[in-house]
Structure 1
Amino acid sequence: MPCVPPGQVKNWYKVGDRINRDYVWIDDPYRYGLKRGGNYVRAGDYVYSIDSDTRKVLNLIGAVADILY
């Protein structure tokens, strides 16, 4: 992790973590260059591929700024 001042470290989920709150489903992933048929959410500043039943993280896709804009 890079050296940053306390309180400015960005939190993200790791593979296997469960995302239970403060997330938004990405309804049309293909629009953002993501694979159709995948289940993607935005949580904080990151986009994740998740299992739709368990909401467990399968993969960290990347930062929102790099993917959605």
Structure 2
Amino acid sequence: MKRLVTLALLGLITATGPIAATASPKACPPGLAKKDPACMPPGLAKNTAPEQERHSGLYEIGERIERPYVLIRDPSLYRLNPNLTYYRVDGTVYQVNPKTDAVMKLIGAFEALTN
């Protein structure tokens, strides 16, 4: 009897397996279907944008530098205080807090420091 029940359950599981596997995925809501990218909520789409698209222009004082930057290893070569930390981003030099990467001061164009 126990064997018969086990075989019956096994047959039932095997028979219903393909039905569940062929179920179609849920459709996208009409409002999200019209968005670009399709079926992605606006907040999630904003979070997946490339870093360069999210920040254009100069960083403000207090703003955290998140995109790739170049650490100026020897600031004294550019007549800057060697005890402070400086980053170069897209040709602009910033004095930053080394612990938070927050902009403390906008120094200016890197080209102006090299002349």
Q: State, as a whole percentage, how many aligned pairs show the same letter.
A: 37
Higher relative helix content: 2
Does 1:59 pair with 2:105?
Answer: yes
Tell me how many residue pairs correspond in the alignment: 60
Of 69, 74, 95, the match for 1:28:
74
Greater share of strand: 1
- The 5-angstrom pairing of residues 1-69 of structure 1 reads 11-69=57-115
Please say which structure displays the higher CA radius of gyration: 2
Unmatched 5+ residue regions in structure 1? 1-9
Q: Which has the higher contact order (CA 8 A, sep 6+)?
A: 1
TM-score of the two chains, using structure 2 as the length reference? 0.50
SS across alignment from 1:42: strand
Q: Once superposed, which parts of structure 1, at least 4 consecutive aligned residues long, lie more than 4 Å away? A: none
TM-score (norm: length of structure 1): 0.80
In the alignment, structure 2 segments of 5+ residues that lack a partner are: 1-55
